[in-house]
Amino acid sequence: MSEAERAGFWGFLRPDGRAGARNHLLVVPTVVCASVVCERIAAVVPNAVALPHQAGCGQLGPDMHTTHETLAAYCEHPNVGAVLVVALGCEQVIGQRLLERARQAGKPAEMLSIQSEGGTLRTIARGTHLAAQFASRLAAEPRSWCDVSHLVLSLKCGGSDYTSGLASNPVLGRVADRLVALGGSTVLGEVAEIMGAEHLLAARASRPEAAAQLIRIVDRVEAEAMALGLDIRGTQPSPGNIRGGLTTIEEKSLGATHKGGERSALEDVVPYAGRIERPGLTVMDTPGLDVESVTGMVGGGAQVVVFTTGLGTPTGNPVAPVIKITANARTARLMSDNLDLDVSGVVDDSETLDAAADRLFAQVLDVASGTLTAAEVLGHREFAIYRRNPTI
């Protein structure tokens, strides 16, 4: 049997045609004022996750649009089986619209308003009752076999060092190429960490429009930094990257873009949290900040994240499992609680890139089928929406 014939995972087929790796009940605050209520509800209901955030009101147009679309994207996400929206009642984000987006994706969904319910305690009591009903229904839903072409894999690096570009990112790149060859999708973010290598990705574009859009967003990010009096090519890499052996943004970017593989064509460029619709490699317009970047790529539809790290990082995501891998043997020892895969053998020449990629690909499918990652076991559910404008 060929790899194409046997590759797949045990997931949850959704009414909109996508497949989930998890079956979460999502408790969504429309605004920061509702975040604590959502956290209290999710804390007492099995398999419920909250999306506490600092936005939802007092935002200018573009930021308000990004906040709404990110929250709506999570309501529609294939790893989400049901949705409870909790509004305050006077904010900019309109809870009813989030409710409608969840229902349009075929998910059971309800909404509460803290002001209408009569305050924090009444809303928690009512919300817990509704959430428990959803959770009971979700617990009875079985997994089914899903073709690997349903999978959207987020490609992320953070706390990078010299081993990232030499080993862990190329290992992930081989997995990305394999997934795309089987009909799946990958998404690469962190525009500032594409800078200096954007021409290499643009040369792989299947359409002139995709190449042009990639160059435009890289130019925009650099122009925004220059407008603040900063030379982003002179301020990157970060202090941690420098301590880890990286010297220039170009060097960092050449290592980072290895995550996108070598053979996969660049099929699309999408805005932050924009839906990933084309099989193949997509670039998303995200910042380099780890949590904001992962939040956006998962919003785009990624069911699983692979996060390479040289120095080590603990962060996760509320709805998508985050697989952490390192090629730094010291980090593998010191941060073993936070890591899922050690590929340091590539650096000391005891393992080939292809052998390490075989292990990572198998782990991606295992995690998509329900195996918990270290970040999930430790309860890391970091979530932050990209903000570019001042609050008013």
Give the tens place of pLDDT for each residue, 131-148: 999 999 999 999 999 999
Given this model, what pLDDT does residue 226 score? Answer: 84
State the DSSP code for 142. P
Read off φ and ψ for residue 153, nearest 5 degrees. -110, 125
Quickly tell me which residue has 């969904």 as its tokens.
109
Give residue 261's identity as a one-letter amino acid code: G
Given this model, what pLDDT does residue 243 score? Answer: 58
CB 312 within 8 Å of CB 335? yes
Structure pTM?
Answer: 0.94
Quickly tell me which residue has 């539809």 as its tokens.
301
Mean pLDDT, rounded, for 323-347: 97
Mean pLDDT, rounded, for 276-303: 97
Read off φ and ψ for residue 54, nearest 5 degrees. -105, 15
Residues 6+ apart with CB under 8 A from 235: 225
pLDDT band at 241 (very low <50, low <70, confident <90, very high): low
Given this model, what pLDDT does residue 374 score? Answer: 98
pLDDT, tens digit (0-9, with 9 covering 90-100), for 170-219: 999 999 999 999 999 999 999 988 888 899 999 999 999 999 999 999 99
Given this model, what pLDDT does residue 112 score? Answer: 97
pLDDT surpassing 80 at residue 250: no
Given this model, what pLDDT does residue 196 score? Answer: 82
Three-state SS string over 223-289 comes to: HHHHHCCCCHHHHCCCHHHHHCCCCCHHHHHHHHHHHHCCCCCEEEEECCCCCCCCCEEEEECCCCC
pLDDT surpassing 50 at residue 4: no
Residues 6+ apart with CB under 8 A from 370: 10, 21, 22, 143
pLDDT band at 255 (very low <50, low <70, confident <90, very high): low
